[in-house]
Amino acid sequence: MSVLQARELVKSYGARTVLSGVSLTLSPGQRTGLVGDNGVGKSTLLRVLAGREARDGGTVEAPSDLGFLTQEPEFPGSASVAEVLDDALAEVRVALRRLDELAERIADSEDAMTEYGEVLDWCTAHEAWDADRRAELVLDGLGLGFLIGATGQRRIDTLSGGERTRLALAMLLVRRPGMLLLDEPTNHLDDAAIAFLEEHLRGLSSGVLVASHDRVFLDEVCTDILDLDPNLSGPARYTGAFTAYLGAKRAERERWERQYATEQEELKALRSAVRVNTSDIAHNRKARDNDKFIYAFKGARVQQTAARRVRDAKRRLEELEQEQVRKPPPPLRFSGAWSAGNGSGPVLSLHQVRVGQRLAVDRLDVNGTDALLVTGANGAGKSTLLGVLAGDIAPDSGELLRRKGTRIGLLRQDVWFAERDKPAARLYADAVPEGPNLGELGLLPGPALGKPVGQLSEGQRRRLALALLVAANPHVLLLDEPTNHISLTLASELEDALRAAPGAVVVATHDRWLRRRWDGAHLELVGGGLQG
């Protein structure tokens, strides 16, 4: 069984360094979750490890038996499903045929006996004799059972994007390589398919390195977590699954903040000490004639001691200024930015609302301090419901009642700003001249504050939109998939902030972690209707 090792990896695109000094070791049976904010280099790291991109520095030792799942499947469109499956099983079938050939020669050849043992070990590790049955189980478990049999002749280019992604994942699991690199494998999977994948990966002897935004998946599958987000010492590895990682990150954050505060106090004291002139430390009284000699002697000693102390302070100041830890990025907070409440009782009500075939709601009341979670399958009408509550979508029938003066903020899945050339911090400051500084909210990293809005990533644009919504002090905040496109640490901070929200919050999401930890009301959309 092979080990994947990388040491001090560096990867840049032009002047932008994406990976710097990243090292890792992945052994058989180890399942490492790769986490970090969008753009921090997760997909880049996987491509470098898989040999799909050249590195600018460092070393990689990867086993030849390595499987890589990209976010964009790499099938030829003209191939059939059956041909793709045959290709995934080809190595197993070759090995089984070779095993039969060697079995006939094993009694007459020592070389044949040696090779037979090697091929037998490979076949055992890859469960070669069960490969065809495994293929059916995997396709069925990932929701692709309809492709088994006669429909296997379907061309790849007739499948949807989600079906092609699931097929690529299925073929990797069927092939059963000794090392797996997976980039967002739960994309396009429903809850049942994710549960199947979790169980399947836990049963593998292969090493697995997986980048995922699915926190429940990381908690169910991973034995450790590699975090590429900023911390005291760069990329860091944490033992345990996602829950253990969160606890370790909180403790690390507290240590970082304490160390930064201690060092800043010391820097302040050292700078003050360096400014002190030795004459300020010496005696200021005028010496009498009869003790001028002893005064001069003691004064010289005082000045020497003071000079030494100043030199020591300067030396320590220079060292600390070079070695001090950087300021921790601010955690997400809404305190001081969102204080609205609108009393008790309903602030929004839907009565007999219908929107085509997308939504049917007989009655829904949202009170001034409600925390309401809306779930449902894709296409069930979650976004439509939020659009109706926000007043952006007019129902075909029924009515929306809004308490007078109620302010509503809606975070959409797709965010667009007209002033694309304006820096993010300036756009926010113009909109919120008397509110908290954008950098203090912890929603955007420092370098992004000065970027033109049009150059922000999708996740950064959504965070900027959230900052603007909260600063508008809404009575009701409507959030459509709020944890999409943000780091897992920020997602946890967002959930904590929402628990302390002063106004009503309605969240529509498929996020399993958020759903499991939600302690407010919960409504599920089934076929466009609400189930309490």
Q: What is the distance between the alpha carbons of residues 520 and 506, in angstroms, rounded to a whole number?
A: 10
Of all helices (H) and strands (E), which one includes residue 348? Answer: strand 346-355
Share of the chain above pLDDT 70, in %: 90
What's the rounded mean pLDDT across residues 32-37?
90
What's the rounded mean pLDDT across residues 157-175?
89
Check if the beta carbon of residue 490 is closer than 8 Å to that of residue 482. no
Check if the beta carbon of residue 470 is closer than 8 Å to that of residue 337. yes
The average confidence (pLDDT) of the chain is 86
Residue 415 confidence class, pLDDT cut points 50, 70, 90: confident
Q: Tell me the three state secondary structure of residue 402.
A: strand
Closest CA to 78 of 179, 155, 190, 191: 155
What's the rounded mean pLDDT across residues 77-84?
83
Residue range 69-176 in CATH 3.40.50.300: yes
Q: Tell me the three state secondary structure of residue 468.
A: helix
For residue 281, pLDDT over 60 is answered with no
pLDDT 10s digits, 342-366:
667 899 999 999 999 889 999 999 9
128, 143, 270, 306, 308 from 276: Cα distances, Å: 78, 74, 10, 9, 12
For residue 328, pLDDT over 60 is answered with yes
Where do the DSSP E strands lie in 184-252?
A: 207-211, 224-227, 236-239
Closest CA to 223 of 472, 34, 433, 490: 34
What's the pLDDT at 303?
A: 66
For residue 219, pLDDT over 70 is answered with yes
What's the pLDDT at 201?
A: 96
What's the rounded mean pLDDT across residues 202-210?
93
Residue 91 confidence class, pLDDT cut points 50, 70, 90: confident
Residue 207 confidence class, pLDDT cut points 50, 70, 90: very high
Q: What is the distance between the alpha carbons of residues 162 and 377, in angstroms, rounded to a whole number?
A: 15
Give yes or no on whether 69-176 and 346-531 have one common fold: yes
What's the rounded mean pLDDT across residues 207-212?
95
Q: Who has greater pLDDT, 185 or 65? A: 185
CATH ID of 346-531, from 3.90.1150.10, 3.40.50.300, 3.90.580.10, 1.20.1240.10: 3.40.50.300
Tokens for 218, please give them. Answer: 């990381």
What's the rounded mean pLDDT across residues 163-172?
91
Write the secondary structure of 67-128 as one string of H (helix), E (strand) and C (coil).
EEECCCCCCCCCCEHHHHHHHHHHHHHHHHHHHHHHHHHCCCCHHHHHHHHHHHHHHHHCCH
Which is it for the CA torsion 143, 146, 148, 152, positive or negative? negative
Q: How far does CA 451 lie from the centroid of its chain?
A: 21
Sequence spans of domains, the chain? 69-176, 250-323, 346-531
Q: Who has greater pLDDT, 77 or 315? A: 315
For residue 211, pLDDT over 90 is answered with yes
Residue 301 confidence class, pLDDT cut points 50, 70, 90: low
Closest CA to 61 of 102, 24, 14, 99: 24
Q: What is the distance between the alpha carbons of residues 265 and 156, in angstroms, rounded to a whole number?
A: 63
Residue type, 198: E
What's the pLDDT at 341?
A: 67
What's the pLDDT at 107?
A: 76
What's the pLDDT at 272?
A: 85
Count the alpha carbons within 13 Å of 263 in the hemisphere toward its beta carbon: 19
What's the rounded mean pLDDT across residues 22-48?
91
Closest CA to 367 of 353, 383, 347, 381: 347
Q: Who has greater pLDDT, 220 or 90? A: 220
What's the pLDDT at 106?
A: 81
Tokens for 309, please give them. Answer: 């102390």
What's the pLDDT at 360?
A: 92
Residue 286 confidence class, pLDDT cut points 50, 70, 90: low
Summarize the chain as % helix, strand, coil (round to 5).
Answer: 45, 20, 35
Residue 278 confidence class, pLDDT cut points 50, 70, 90: very low
Quote the pTM value: 0.82
Q: Who has greater pLDDT, 377 or 304? A: 377
Q: What is the distance between the alpha carbons of residues 200 and 221, in angstroms, rounded to a whole number?
A: 9
Residue 283 confidence class, pLDDT cut points 50, 70, 90: very low
Of the listed ranges 40-44, 73-77, 467-471, the least confidently predicted one is: 73-77
